[in-house]
Amino acid sequence: VRVRFVSGESFGTRSMATYVETGDVKIFIDPGAALAPRRYGLPPHPKELEKLESDWKRIAEYASACDVVVVTHYHRDHFSAVRHVDRVYRGKTVLLKSVESSINPSQRARGKALLSRIGDLASRVEFADGRRFTFGDTILEFSRPLPHGVDDRLGYVLEVHITDGRRSFVFTSDVEGPSLDEHLRFIIEREPDIVYVDGPATYLAGAKYPEDAVEAAVENLLRIVEEVESLKVLVVDHHLTRDINWEARIARVIEACRDRKVWIGTAAEYMGERPMFLEANRRALYAESCDAAPGGKGGNG
């Protein structure tokens, strides 16, 4: 199993776009990217808009080379609804979150729109909830629908497991942590070498995201590091890295990884690139480039 991270907060957009290749099959998980419409009261900075365009190009390139496309849920940063639809889905086996059950109204509407869009484009379309698919020696397995965070207010997501019998990769999607035992169980039971987690949404802590949930997520991340003996790499990105102080938030997890010699870092770092947290630095970006500020009034630092 070879994993390449294509976009994400550490690359400068909101995304978990991931390419996975085995000897049997090429899989793209969550071919989408987006920007926070508002952060610190500011709209996306021109640098973010530019990065979004180039990341979408990369997503389309990688996805077009794939056999299988996975959509874990219907939030706009996780699938292509408009951009590069043809390149992403044409001729592909598309395995996606069911729109029939365990789904909230907004995601159901987007999911149904996607299904009608790709009906004639994809070669095969299947709801993947709780299912397992094999491609040669490769097993692609999905969790049953799990809450998007501590409750199902934002709907449900599917976690993804891919193994070729030698290495094993778990992609948690938007579990926000993992914050619940059921999120954690799917990860631990798969005995993965590599885990990609979205992390707790600490940037919303206090207001929209309970502090208890942050605490639960840190405890669960610690359990992954301590209980999964096969674990070699823990990639954290997406929700967690919207927080400029993300490292301090999970200091105990970073320390546990150091003790156990597990590599921990962001998706960009795993790819050997310097992380570029554009959203978390949006205020600073506007302060640096006063000309680019909305309304031409200058940055508000």
* Residue 229 CB contacts under 8 Å (≥ 6 apart), including other chains: 191
Residue of 287, 246, 249 whose CA lies nearest to 8? 246
Range 184-243, binding Zn ion (CB under 5 A): none
Rounded to a whole number of angstroms, the minimum distance from the CB of residue 91 to Zn ion is 26
Q: Which of 47, 75, 92, 161 binds Zn ion (CB under 5 A)?
A: 75
Amino acid at 61: E
Residue (20 or 201) nearer to Zn ion, CB: 201
Residue (29 or 221) nearer to Zn ion, CB: 29
**Gap between the Cα atoms of 56 and 33, Å rounded:** 7
**Gap between the Cα atoms of 70 and 31, Å rounded:** 8
Residue (13 or 163) nearer to Zn ion, CB: 13
Residue (8 or 265) nearer to Zn ion, CB: 8
Rounded to a whole number of angstroms, the minimum distance from the CB of residue 71 to Zn ion is 11
**Gap between the Cα atoms of 227 and 189, Å rounded:** 10
Tell me, by CB under 5 A, how many residues bind Zn ion: 3
Distances (CA, A) of 64 to 67, 68, 87: 8, 10, 5
Q: Which of 129, 159, 164, 174 binds Zn ion (CB under 5 A)?
A: 174
Handedness of CA 262, 266, 267, 268 (dihedral sign): negative
Residue 176 in contact with Zn ion, rule: CB under 5 A: no
Which of the stretches 5-13, 31-39, 166-174, 293-301 binds Zn ion when contact is defined by CB under 5 A? 166-174
Residues near Zn ion (CB under 5 A) are 75, 77, 174
